[in-house]
């Protein structure tokens, strides 16, 4: 039996677009001589459809698409992921269709309801595991979470399954691929059943789906892995007599470390801009490390013709920053403008002079600078339709080292889940491809340049210390005592945690951004804005 793995980049809610992708893959499967082609979880609706699942008209579109696929009357069987409703309940389902007939409809048993998942909000779990004989092979379907636990695969084995086909929508975070691969390998090895794992690929709002669809032999060996961060199509052969899978092509290259994160960010920007119909992107280019990395990601994702940047200097902006911003823009070949904010800032201050009289300079004036820049960028966005990319990293967003309606003004934050220390690593990685970030941008002390001789470390702990504390508190929910036990100064830990806690209101107003960690701000980490929890640990 020849099984095709169709790894596609779907658009949530665009059933017709997704149907066309599926039809194209069916055609490829026919040309490749496949007996069956497997698509990813909820392929027809895209994943995650969220509250679109509460709309009856979505299901009308899904039913029409399933009917269309049955009318293909293809010799190639299709495993199609889709939502379905029956008896007032909604299921996460996969249908096996062959020559116009529905051979099997499987409903997902285990519904994830943690991290970025909230499937129990929408779906009803099933409790059976049907097996169908297709061309002499007993085939079972298990969907995504079903394979992360032992029981569903064991039940399939007891029901006589000889091959498991698994549609998936498994979101990416750095380090997940080997964990996921080990789980799939374990299920195959535990039951001596080959597993065909098909994941979707692409960016969906904050989530990245990395693809990496795979085939695991009955011994648990991975015999094939599809492309990472891009669409792919491949076939494997199953020999029932030997219970063995064999790949028809070599596995695709898998990215490593910073290269993998870079490709995830590129995919996230490309799909957010493209799927939402923006003609391009723009950003404020400060001459600092964050905007330099954001610019390079944007150009790699969209091409230089679709990206432009603006340097908006003030009297505190160093000549070095202006020079470096120009060099970055020239290296990447983008349109670049310089617009001074001094007259705009002066006008603001003059208009408020009566109210500000007798007060000392503080962060108020610094934030007005940032808001002048935000207003310029949003004005250009309104005029030319390009999406404003903000440049705040996870370290800054965590502790509120950013300005509401200033540098936080925009539509998408590329580095929202990237720590400052990782930003530096990404800059060094990108320069190994081509030199687009000046070396002194990487080596000089970071500064917002909102005050004379300002340095980030005037307000924050050194980033290597800050990021270690943030990882423990934000990503692992460690307590103060746990973090201090790691070797951090208690006063510094308490200060950082307080900053994280009191700035939840800022994060709620921040633009969405790409998730690359196992615990990102946004749909992943959901804390109340109004909370007295931290007061108990003073």
34 and 173 share a domain? yes
38 and 187 share a domain? yes
188 and 301 share a domain? no
282 and 429 share a domain? yes
Q: 425, 453, 481: which is the final residue of a domain?
A: 453
Please tell me the predicted confidence (pLDDT) of residue 464: 93
Is 68 a domain residue? yes
Active site residues: 41, 108, 144
292 and 438 share a domain? yes
For residue 43, what is the domain's CATH number? 3.60.110.10
Is 8 a domain residue? yes
399 and 427 share a domain? yes
The distance of Cα 229 from the centroid of its chain, to the nearest Å, equals 11
Is 446 a domain residue? yes
Is 526 a domain residue? no
Is 401 a domain residue? yes
Bridge-based pairing of strands 137-141 and 131-134 is: antiparallel
213 and 299 share a domain? no
The reply to whether 261 sits in an annotated binding site is no
Burial 259-293 (b: 16+ CB within 10 A, else e): bbbbbbbbbbbbbbbbbeebebbbbbbbbbbbbbb
Please tell me the predicted confidence (pLDDT) of residue 459: 81
Q: 419, 453, 487: which is the final residue of a domain?
A: 453
390 and 368 share a domain? yes
Nearest to 169 by CA among 202, 139, 137, 140: 202
Q: 222, 254, 286: which is the final residue of a domain?
A: 254
314 and 430 share a domain? yes
The reply to whether 506 sits in an annotated binding site is yes
84 and 169 share a domain? yes
The reply to whether 287 sits in an annotated binding site is yes
Is 485 a domain residue? no
CB-count burial class (<10 Å; 0-12, 13-18, 19+) for 199: buried
Please tell me the predicted confidence (pLDDT) of residue 538: 67
Tokens representing residue 73 in the block: 């009357």
369 and 299 share a domain? yes
The reply to whether 114 sits in an annotated binding site is yes
Mean pLDDT by 10 residues, the chain (538 residues): 98 97 97 97 97 96 96 94 96 96 96 94 94 96 96 95 97 94 96 97 97 96 96 96 92 91 98 97 96 98 97 92 95 96 95 92 92 96 97 95 94 97 97 96 83 79 94 95 96 95 94 95 89 80
Please tell me the predicted confidence (pLDDT) of residue 453: 77
Number of structural domains in the chain = 2
**Domain range holding 10?**
2-254
The distance of Cα 64 from the centroid of its chain, to the nearest Å, equals 30
For residue 402, what is the domain's CATH number? 3.40.50.620
The reply to whether 291 sits in an annotated binding site is yes
The reply to whether 391 sits in an annotated binding site is yes
User: Residue 237 is inside which H or E element, if any?
Assistant: strand 232-239
CB-count burial class (<10 Å; 0-12, 13-18, 19+) for 255: middle
């Amino acid at each position: 039996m020849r099984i095709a793995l169709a790894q596609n980049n779907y658009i949530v809610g665009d059933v017709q677009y997704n149907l066309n992708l599926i039809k194209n893959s069916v055609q490829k499967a026919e040309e490749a001589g496949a007996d069956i082609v497997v698509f990813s979880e909820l392929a027809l609706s895209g994943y995650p459809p969220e509250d679109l699942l509460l709309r009856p008209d979505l299901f009308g579109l899904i039913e029409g698409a399933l009917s269309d696929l049955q009318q293909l009357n293809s010799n190639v069987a299709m495993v199609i992921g889709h939502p379905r409703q029956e008896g007032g309940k909604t299921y996460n389902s996969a249908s096996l269709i062959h020559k116009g007939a529905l051979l099997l409809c499987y409903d997902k048993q285990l519904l994830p309801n943690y991290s970025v998942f909230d499937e129990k909000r929408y779906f009803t779990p099933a409790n059976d595991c049907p097996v169908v004989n297709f061309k002499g092979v007993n085939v079972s379907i298990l969907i995504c979470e079903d394979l992360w636990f032992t029981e569903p695969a064991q039940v399939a084995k007891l029901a006589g399954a000889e091959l498991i086909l698994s549609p998936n929508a498994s979101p990416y975070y750095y380090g997940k691929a080997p964990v996921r691969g080990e789980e799939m390998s374990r299920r195959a090895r535990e039951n001596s059943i080959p597993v065909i794992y098909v994941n979707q690929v692409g960016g969906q709002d904050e989530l990245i789906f990395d693809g990496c669809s795979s085939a695991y032999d009955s011994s648990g060996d991975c015999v094939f892995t599809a492309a990472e961060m891009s669409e792919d199509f491949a076939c494997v052969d199953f020999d029932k007599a030997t219970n063995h899978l064999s790949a028809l092509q070599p596995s695709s290259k898998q990215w490593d470390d910073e290269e993998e994160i870079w490709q995830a960010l590129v995919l996230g920007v490309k799909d957010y801009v493209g799927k939402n119909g923006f003609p391009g992107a723009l950003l404020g280019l400060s001459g600092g490390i964050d905007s330099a990395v954001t610019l390079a990601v944007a150009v790699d994702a969209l091409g230089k013709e679709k990206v432009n940047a603006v340097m908006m200097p003030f009297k505190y902006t160093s000549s070095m920053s202006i020079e470096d911003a120009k060099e970055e823009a020239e290296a990447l070949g983008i349109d670049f403008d310089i617009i001074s904010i001094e007259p705009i800032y002066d006008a603001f201050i003059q208009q408020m002079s009566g109210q500000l009289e007798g007060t000392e300079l503080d962060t108020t004036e610094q934030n007005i600078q940032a808001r002048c820049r935000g207003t310029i960028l949003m004005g250009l966005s309104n005029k030319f339709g390009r999406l404003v990319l903000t440049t705040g990293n996870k370290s800054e967003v965590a502790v509120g080292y950013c300005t509401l309606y200033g540098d936080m003004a925009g539509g998408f934050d590329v580095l929202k889940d990237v720590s400052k220390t990782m930003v530096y690593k990404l800059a060094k990685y990108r320069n190994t491809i081509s030199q687009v970030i000046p070396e002194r941008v990487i080596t000089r002390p970071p500064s917002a340049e909102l005050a004379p001789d300002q340095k980030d470390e005037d307000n924050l702990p050194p980033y290597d210390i800050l990021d270690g504390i943030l990882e423990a508190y934000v990503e692992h929910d460690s307590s103060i005592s746990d973090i201090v036990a790691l070797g951090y100064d208690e006063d510094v830990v308490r200060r950082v945690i307080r900053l994280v806690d009191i700035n939840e209101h800022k994060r709620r107003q921040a633009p969405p951004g790409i998730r690359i960690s196992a615990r990102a701000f946004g749909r992943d980490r959901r804390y109340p804005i109004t909370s007295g929890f931290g007061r108990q640990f003073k």
